[in-house]
Structure 1
Amino acid sequence: MAAIRAEGLTKVYGDLRAVDGVSLEVAEGEFVGVLGPNGAGKTTLLEMVEGLRRPDGGTVEVLGERVWPRNAGLLPRIGVQLQASAFFERLTAREQIRTFAALYGVSPARADDWLERVGLGEKAASRVEDLSGGQAQRLSIACALVHDPDLVFLDEPTAALDPQARRNLWDLLSGINDSGRTVVLTTHYMDEAEALCDRVAVMDAGRVLQVGAPADLIRDLGAPARTLEDVFLHLTGREYRA
């Protein structure tokens, strides 16, 4: 069974077609990246797949069920890390994740275990506002995983992180997928897509231009030492700008 099956998804804002007839299928256990520059429509696409935004056209099924109208039965089976982390004010890292855990009936002990798993055990008593950018992102991801979902959505989880913090987070993200979960990641970093994803959907101006394994997309250009930047140039006729 496909974890995600989207057909003809469309979202329009006035004259802007933010998502323009996108079809995409993700198999169970896959790590799929949606790659494109800012404004490509990646976040809007994810929000429709997650059931957070109503499509103007098309259909989407997640784990075999329709997501719109809002399907509350899917909520325990999916985890969502939003592009902008939203935490409760003045709570410590431990209090944050225990609060998220309580929403799903998960024990405090399991919540504390997730802090350890994302490398934040020593920061459990620190307030979120005192965490570094990379630490806050790790906490956000832990909160999305605390209820052990089958499918995880990560919206530009390494945005605004320095190169070392990004690579540290890659190890965590790889581990999430290795545990058998399906992961969908949006990113505008070419190297991130190449390092993490089984397949990528290259997106621009609301459309998915091509889908495939990073190595296959590069190889299909028929020249050595190509990169996903070259794939984007080949598909759009312009250089990639994050």
Structure 2
Amino acid sequence: MNLGTTSDDLGGFVNYYAREISEAFYLGHGPVETPYTRHVLPMIRSVPSVRCAVAATAACHIANRLEDEQLKRQSLHLRLKATELLREELKGYPDGPDLTCLVCMLLLAQLDVCSGDCVEFETHLKAASTFIKQRGSDGTERGFIEQRIVWLDIMGATTSSRMPHWSPEDLTATLNKFRTPSGKREWGFDVFYCPIDLFEYIANITVLYKSEPDAIQKAILLSNTIKRWFDFFDCQPAFSTRQI
């Protein structure tokens, strides 16, 4: 697939993305159809912000592999261009962004993680989270953008001081959308290298810890108090906790 046939000079980057990156997240077997090949690649020719975000991602990927500072600067330039284009596109959607805008927000958030420069990460993440929750869906049949944004939100919250943008109730509703024929919950796409129940546990622990910063310390102190209580009575000749 040649995606470089437009008037700009980004063809090499977008073709690299299509060839090297768009299929990288697939964990299953058989014909490869990832959410990136299904949703992102068709937008590359027609949506300027997505095209720039894809090119920026490819430039960043190549720069990291080759340790090329010039490509890193080019990736940053393309990222800024994608952000400017996204702002312009959002003006055309007074009731909230469409799927193309959400895709661009996701790509830019992921690019911030890839580059290690997460200055705009929270901005893109919070905006996408807000719009998706308002609409109740990301507009795709398997909810990849929604689930990916939730994933990035929780992972970001575990390494920062902020609370997740998604409440436990919001997160559970998102994770409950897709089930196997036997009723077991599953991800919309086979791209998350984490059991869905484990991810929910991580999210709930994160919220609990941040809502009560001293929760773990309190639990340790309580445990030590109980242990001392048992040790004290075990030392008494007329009474032993083993009799309880």
TM superposition score normalised by structure 1:
0.27
RCO greater where, 1 or 2, for CA within 8 Å and sep 6 or more?
A: 1
Higher helix share: 2
Larger proportion of strand: 1
TM-score scaled by structure 2?
Answer: 0.27
